[in-house]
Amino acid sequence: MISLKIECPQNIKEIQSWVKRDWEIDFAVFKSAGEIVENVKKNGDSALIRYCKQFDGIEVSDARELAVSTAELSEAFKNVPVEFPELVEALNASHANLLKYHKSQLEKESSQWFINPQEGARLGQIITPIERVGLYIPGGRRLYPSSVLMSAVPAILAGVKKIIACTPPQKNGKINDILLYLFAKLGINKVYRIGGAQAVAALAYGTESIEKVDKIVGPGNIYVTAAKKIVFGAVGIDSLAGPSEITIIADGQANPSFIAADLLSQSEHDFDAKSILLATNKKIAENTITEIYKQTGELRRLYGNRFNRDLIYESLKKNCRIIVNKDLNFLIEVCNIIAPEHLELMVSDCDTVLKSIRNAGAIFLGSYTPVAVGDYICGTNHVIPTGGNARFSSPLGVYDFYKRSSIACYSYDMLKRERKHVETLSDFENLLAHNNSIKVRFKNDTKI
């Protein structure tokens, strides 16, 4: 059993002292991931074969054997709906909602545009999809079919031409049929039984058997995150995912049972997951603590060892904070400092509070919108910035699979009007070839 305490800070400085961006990847993890990345970069397939045997228990003589065959994808696509009809129904509903949400996102994403600020000058922007994207899908002991949908749908809608997926195999050396069903459904036929840092390295640099991509997206363990940080620059990445987080702002009308359930839902992710309640009412906070104890007991009785109570208790002990302050505006400011991955607003006037939220990855309004609907079904993306990165980052979306190119077009007369400014600036910066690139066009002052 753990002992959860209520804190009653009165000023923001007290909050800033414990809201630290202190999640760091251990040096030993970085060193190990770096060695794997460098080896795959240097030795390609031979390194992959070695690491797949070492970490995933797959023994192959040729790295091409790590690829999932078309026959395996087709068989899963045919069999899974028969074997798991309710699961497929849920996945199809999730897929449909993700399409609706991200299609709307696509329609509102800035498209190409041009302006004519002066006569003879034409400026603008064009948007083109990234050509090759690698998806990292967690696997092995736990399966996350929702991550396939969340990572792939926006890429497909954005128009990415080549999508390559890597996911760790199960103990039998195969990829679970549920994941294969989704790959087949989405038309992703380049799938490899590779996990960990070695998968990230293969996607980033390419090997004899695996094509290099331009960007890698998708969550993974700490070695995957370390590898993504190492290869960033050679390729783009979506984010560096840390432990999951939830912050709940609750007023006196909130339901402690719902609050407790949602705090528990995030704490079961990881020992380092953060669960924070910001309440205006002390009684609500006290009842929430009572409900946490009650619900963990009920879940253990209902699910037995499937429910990892020890993990949840350790997570709550390390990272659960219950803050009470009667001033709702104070709690909103606390939330903006935390910049949580997930934010739930269990308040009587969500829309008013929402206007004051500046930093949050995904926001869930009202008592009947738990984070779980965003994780699985509503259509928003569950790949969300963690570790306070919501201060400057966004959830995964179609915009992550586009790149923008600026366009400039000057006429002879326009360049002649502004040549003196370019010449002055380039001369000051001692970039004389820049200066010459303007002068040469007017050497004879003959219009071309």
Nearest to 30 by CA among 219, 228, 199: 228
Pairing verdict, β 121-129 and 113-115: antiparallel
Distance, CA of 437 to CA of 448 (rounded, Å): 15
Q: Which pair of structure tokens corresponds to residue 166?
A: 């890597």
Per-residue CA distances from 27 to 204, 210, 332, 387 (Å): 21, 29, 35, 18
Q: Which of 102, 342, 344, 382 is catalytic?
A: 342
Element containing residue 42 per DSSP (H, E): helix 27-43
Distance, CA of 52 to CA of 179 (rounded, Å): 19
Q: Which pair of structure tokens corresponds to residue 353?
A: 């509070």
Sheet containing 402-410, strands listed edge to edge, beginning at the edge strand earlier in sequence: 113-115, 121-129, 402-410
Distance, CA of 43 to CA of 41 (rounded, Å): 6
Q: Which of 341, 421, 429, 434 is catalytic?
A: 341
Q: HSE on the CB side for 383, CA within 13 Å? A: 29
Query: Alpha helices, DSSP H only, in 163-308?
Result: 177-186, 196-205, 222-231, 256-267, 282-303
Q: Which pair of structure tokens corresponds to residue 99?
A: 């399409």
Largest CA distance in the chain: 90
The one-letter amino acid at 57: G
Active-site annotation holds for 341: yes
Is the separation of the CB atoms in 126 and 405 below 8 Å?
yes
Q: Which pair of structure tokens corresponds to residue 385?
A: 């910035």
Nearest to 249 by CA among 355, 331, 340, 352: 331
Distance, CA of 401 to CA of 355 (rounded, Å): 29
Nearest to 381 by CA among 72, 81, 157, 170: 157
Cβ partners under 8 Å of residue 35, min gap 6? none
Active-site annotation holds for 75: no
Length in residues, the chain = 448
Task: Find residue 405's DSSP bridge partners.
Answer: 126
Is the separation of the CB atoms in 231 and 204 below 8 Å?
yes
Q: What are the phi and psi torsion angles at 239 (to 5°)?
A: -170, 170
Nearest to 136 by CA among 208, 14, 223: 223
Active site (catalytic) residues:
341-342
